[in-house]
Amino acid sequence: MKLHHINLLINGEIYEVLVRPDEFLVDVLRNKLGLTGTKKACDMGVCGACTVLLDGMPVSSCLTLAVDAEDKEITTIEGLEGPGGKLHPLQEAFIEKGAVQCGFCTSGMIMTAVAFLQKHSNPSELEVRRALSGNICRCTGYAKIIQAVEEAASKICSLSND
């Protein structure tokens, strides 16, 4: 199978990678670029663990061909880190609320929530539940995850009002 040189813009940096035309973005991120925060689980796009942002929209990287991500802006969980390693408000809220147990679903939950909160600054609990409905967690029971997203929304909203 013919290999393709592609340039991927990931977390603000350009990476030149050699990929097969049938290679999925999750595999390139994890195996070729060492960005292991994006998790690989179901390989069918139903669990949300592999969620990344593609031009600001959450996508299942296990269903996205790497070649289709060229010329698009990709954000992974590693890209949320602020200056000096400061955590994103969502990451802080997940820790504060105890919304992580095994942590496997966490990066996908956070990436989905980041995209959601960019459009919904003051969401209701029902809106948060609906936004995260495509992400599966087998450990937490979701209550603390919902609380963490609501907490982060209030922090983000107060930061933007300052």
Q: Do 35 and 96 share a domain, yes or no?
A: no
pLDDT of residue 141: 82
Whole-structure pTM value: 0.94
30 lies in the same domain as 65: yes
Three-class SS of residue 72?
Answer: coil
**Tell me, what's the pLDDT at 155?**
84
Are 157 and 91 contained in the same domain?
A: yes
Cross-strand bridge partners of residue 57:
54
Q: What would the mean pLDDT of 1-20 be, rounded to a whole number?
A: 96
Q: What is the pLDDT of residue 72?
A: 98
For residue range 39-61, list pLDDT tens digits in order: 999 999 999 999 999 999 999 99
Contact 32, 14 (CB under 8 A): no
Residue 135 is classified by DSSP as -
Number of structural domains found in the chain: 2
- Torsion angle of the four alpha carbons 55, 57, 60, 63, in this order, in degrees rounded to the nearest 10: -50
Which of 80, 97, 126 terminates a domain? The answer is 80
Shared-domain flag, residues 137 and 91: yes
